[in-house]
Structures are given as structure tokens and as C-alpha cells.
Amino acid sequence: MKRLSKILGVLLAMTIMLCTSTAFATEYVFDESNEQYITANESNELDAVAKNYRDKYGFGIYYYYSNQVNGDLVSFCEDYWQKYCKNDENGILLALTDDSYYVYLVGDANNVLNEDAIWSTFSDPKWTYYYDAVCAYIEYVGEAMATYYDGNTVSTPTDEPQPVDSTTPDNEDEGTNKLIYIGGSVLLGVFAAFIFIKSVKSKHKTVNKKSSANDYVIPGSLNITQSYEAFLYKNVTKTEKQQNNNQQAKK
């Protein structure tokens, strides 16, 4: 039972890690500040808007806030983009700490967006709450990129932030994801049951042929008389990294 518990524990841990890493990777608005300026519900709503743009144009709009980051903010943005936004060849990351900010532009964003305009939009004194400011930032960027990609605006910017339509995410994608995770859960369940059966059966069968005579080796009797190691050949395989060729960073 101990062995089984260990296996189940590992399975559970792997699934949680998989789920959390996937969840983190698809998060567009992430507030890691101690104050939690943006609540979880607000974050979900803003994520839905950002996801809408990304699904439609393949353009990621990201927001990140932390009280402080390790190292300089530029390097942090580069790392963050690699780790959590790596599927996007075009996008923007607005990263903030308590005393600095950085606008990180990738791909087409460099041709369309202006970091000063973005900061002005975000830091407009009329926004009382961070939620309003982030909402304005996402919509400003989204509208600009929509205009760039198809000449149409996605939404009309107003002085006040528009109510967020959280029903806009692509339902088909979500349905597919659900099916994948349900299927994965079922497979892991079957695997756990299989491991359990094997474990019980092995405990009940203790008569086994010995494969070696290791118990009867005279200690210290091993004497290696010849030894050589010859290099034969080597293979090098390379796989392309998913990354953005045109990324540039501006502040």
C-alpha cells in the first residue's frame, strides 16, 4: 500500500504541476503584488478580453505586477516572455514594480504601438482602480492591433472602461481543452488502477527464480584485469526553439 500511495502521490503531483503550469502559461493578467490590486475575479475577466484578442489575431496582451523583481526589469521581461508567453510571436507585456515599469514589445507590436502612448493610457489619473487602468490598456492595445491587422476596430474606446464581456472566449477551444483534460484524467485513473492491481499481485506472488548469485560473491574478490573505452561516433540533433525573431524592447 505504501508503494501504491507513493505512485498515486507522484501522479497527483505531476497532474497538479501540469495543471498549474498550464494555467500560469495562459494567464494574461497576473498580479503578484502583496496588495493584490487586481482581484482573482477581475483578473479572470481581463484574461477573457485578452484571450479574445489573442484568439482572433494571435497577438498576446500581457500584464504583470510584482512589488519587486530579481534583477533588472528588462531581463525579467525577457525571461517572463520566454517562460510564460513563448507561444506568441507578436505581443506586448506591460510589467510593473512598485517603482518602475517596462513596456516589452514583440514582433508586430514594434510597428504599431508606442510605449509612451501605452503608458499614458494606463497611467491616466482618471482611473481610480488598477482594474480600470488594465482594462483601458488591453482595449487600447487591442484596438490598435485590430486596426493594424484588418482595418477594423474591435471595440470603441471610451473615456470610461466598457463592461467586460466574459462570454467572448472561444467556446470551441475551451470545449476541446475540457475533453483533453477529461480524457487525460480517465487515462491516469486507468493507469493508477493498473498499477494497483500489479502491486497487489506482486505482493501475493513471492516465489521467484533468482537471476544471479550476488549473495554468494566473496567480498573484495572482484579483480578487473582489462578495461578500455573506445569512442565510436556521435550524433547531434537540433530542434528549433519557439521564439520571436523580431522582438525588441523599449522603455
Question: Whose Cβ is closer to another protein: residue 167's or residue 233's?
Answer: 233
Distance CA 156, CA 220 (A): 83
Q: What type of residue is 235? A: N
Distance CA 153, CA 143 (A): 5
Contact of 102 with 69, CB cutoff 8 Å: no
Closest CA to 130 of 25, 29, 251: 29
User: Could you say which residues in the range 16-35 bind another protein, by CB under 8 A?
Assistant: 16, 19-20, 22-23
Smallest distance, Å, CB 191 to another protein? 8
Decide if residue 224 touches another protein (CB under 8 A).
Answer: yes
Among 11, 38, 107, 171, binds another protein (CB under 8 A): 11
Decide if residue 223 touches another protein (CB under 8 A).
Answer: yes
Decide if residue 221 touches another protein (CB under 8 A).
Answer: yes
Q: Which stretch binds another protein (CB under 8 A): 74-82, 87-95, 128-136, 198-206?
A: 198-206
Distance CA 118, CA 200 (A): 62
User: Could you say which residues in the range 148-177 bind another protein, by CB under 8 A?
Assistant: 174, 177
Q: Which stretch binds another protein (CB under 8 A): 10-18, 76-84, 119-127, 132-140?
A: 10-18
Decide if residue 74 touches another protein (CB under 8 A).
Answer: no
Distance CA 57, CA 73 (A): 27
Question: Whose Cβ is closer to another protein: residue 183's or residue 251's?
Answer: 183
Q: Which stretch binds another protein (CB under 8 A): 50-58, 84-92, 151-159, 207-215?
A: 207-215
Q: Give the β-pairing of 90-96 and 248-250.
A: unpaired
Burial class (CB in 10 A: 0-12, 13-18, 19+), 66: middle
Cell of 177: 481543452
Q: Give the β-pairing of 248-250 and 29-31.
A: unpaired
Smallest distance, Å, CB 5 to another protein? 11
User: Could you say which residues in the range 177-196 bind another protein, by CB under 8 A?
Assistant: 177-178, 181-182, 184-186, 188-190, 192-194, 196
Question: Whose Cβ is closer to another protein: residue 156's or residue 171's?
Answer: 171
| 136 alpha-carbon distance from chain centroid | 24
Decide if residue 2 touches another protein (CB under 8 A).
Answer: no
Distance CA 41, CA 159 (A): 23
Distance CA 202, CA 212 (A): 20
Q: Which residues bind another protein (CB under 8 A)?
A: 8, 11-12, 15-16, 19-20, 22-23, 174, 177-178, 181-182, 184-186, 188-190, 192-194, 196-197, 200-201, 203-218, 221-241, 243
